[in-house]
Structure 1
């Protein structure tokens, strides 16, 4: 078999993270996630004045509570939910200057599109942190108003991927109530409202597929480790990020956040319980304690057949260590670049996702037994799991 050099791939991996592919944020931040679809709305304009606020349509005013009799009675249809909730769902457009931008290159500025919803009548809006990350200007479109509002970012959390914005108006805005997903069950109907691919206020419906899902998504700042997520088959696309996932009582039980780009009908939402626990801190721009993030300090890649001979393996299985953070648990335990991890605590490791799950399932302070192949020889190395947040 012809040997294929793979050491040049080292620079492509971030130290200290485990790469998990096939997921993308369901936002159109900087036109990256949508494949370059540009915003079809007019250019950003200044904040709506008090006079402009008074031009809000009677329809928006009459639905200030974002509720209908059918919803209150508990026998609502998807159409009822959509009519009741839509006035409180907003479209978010961001402008990000290219200077110092993490994601956008090639022009002076980029634009992004996302969703959110008003949860307080005085103009407080909830969305995803990645929708507004790096924005130099945030414009919010509210149904029934002639002009967009310029929003202020009050507080955000990278780890939880949540942010609270504030817009100022001359009257009460329609709102949506945060509910609970604790009693929701797989198979329950849910409704999503957002702005996918700049198609304003799109309604989709489906079922709650599962709860307590965990995923990890890498970006240039690090790795977001989402926990307790709601999985749904409701159609979620770039631009839906930050929009509400509603139950059939019209309550927000989740914040639409991510979607699998390699599957159909696999979307994820941050549960309302997570939001409720931090929303006051976000409103007041208070720091949110970081949850422990188990890590061992390696970047890895799936072993391929092209690597098999170079790594002196009998089969193309396991994950190859591309880098090891200095002074990390793995480094101190003796794990080195190009070691191949084939098992953790006796359980076979077939790919990077399997290794990530094993590490994330561990508690800080636990010891993992890694079975590795180094230059054709097998050995076991004990690695103590550390907290990545504390290490940073």
Structure 2
């Protein structure tokens, strides 16, 4: 049985709560998933796993959970989007979710770990997060994600992280009072506030106080533009980065690295 790590196990039969003992087989912090093995000799009913890939935007969905301790609550809505990415801070660090399903099905604290069902009663997602500043925006881990890792979790194996493209610079937006020192005449682009030795950017010759003007020929207006360009690349790609240094413009080639294997964690 696949559940998120925050799930409380319970089952109901004729309005009687049955508590089950579960053994943790394996978990993944990054994916916010865990596999628990129910202990006992009685059969435990299970729902069929459906295909999140075959679910389309606009399809009706059903969420089941215990929001605010209202046991066995059911809410309905539609699939709003697929492949959403969000970041949530917790007591350990920042968890970066990828490939999430977005739904306007009401998901509240207590729904996390509960199933998100299609109208065939198949589990196509595991409810995991909400946007606390908005209404009608909830997120679920798709079945395509947990189905691909369940065997590794059952065997308590490490789940490989997806490659995270990076070049290794800390960037800062340019303000008018920087123009003279940087010997430029526009605030478009971003100044390199820091670049560590050994990063892809350092190996390419980028240094502190260089101004990045464009990536692969596309002009950059801010740090956000540059970050998006790097994240859109694949690890191993070569990017042509146009920089300004002491008033002179030149191109450098940066080979995109993998942040997961680096010793620093800049953009």
Question: TM-score, length-normalised on structure 2?
Answer: 0.76
Deviation, 1:158, is 2.9
Return closer, same or farther for 1:262/1:156 CA change in 2, 3 Å cut-off: same
Of residues 291, 294, 311, the one that matches 2:178 is: 311
Deviation, 1:378, is 5.7
Cα distance in 1, alignment partners of residues 69 and 168 from structure 2 = 39
2:11 matched to 1:142?
yes
Q: Which of the pair is proportionally richer in helix?
A: 1
Aligned residues: 257
CA contact (8 A) 1:296 1:386 kept: yes
1:119-268 matches, within 5 Å, as: 124-127=1-4, 129=5, 131=6, 140-144=9-13, 146=17, 148-217=19-88, 224-268=95-139
Higher relative contact order (CA 8 A, sep 6+): 1
Long gaps (5+) in structure 1: 1-123, 133-138
Return closer, same or farther for 1:329/1:186 CA change in 2, 3 Å cut-off: same
Deviates more, 1:271-280 or 1:234-243: 234-243
Deviation, 1:187, is 0.8
Cα distance in 2, alignment partners of residues 318 and 197 from structure 1 = 47
| 1:207-247 CA distance string (max 9 Å, x none) | 11222334455667666554333222223334433222111
Deviation, 1:340, is 5.3
Return closer, same or farther for 1:245/1:337 CA change in 2, 3 Å cut-off: farther
2:150 matched to 1:279?
yes
Q: CA RMSD in A?
A: 3.4
Return closer, same or farther for 1:289/1:234 CA change in 2, 3 Å cut-off: same
CA contact (8 A) 1:231 1:268 kept: yes
2:198 matched to 1:327?
yes
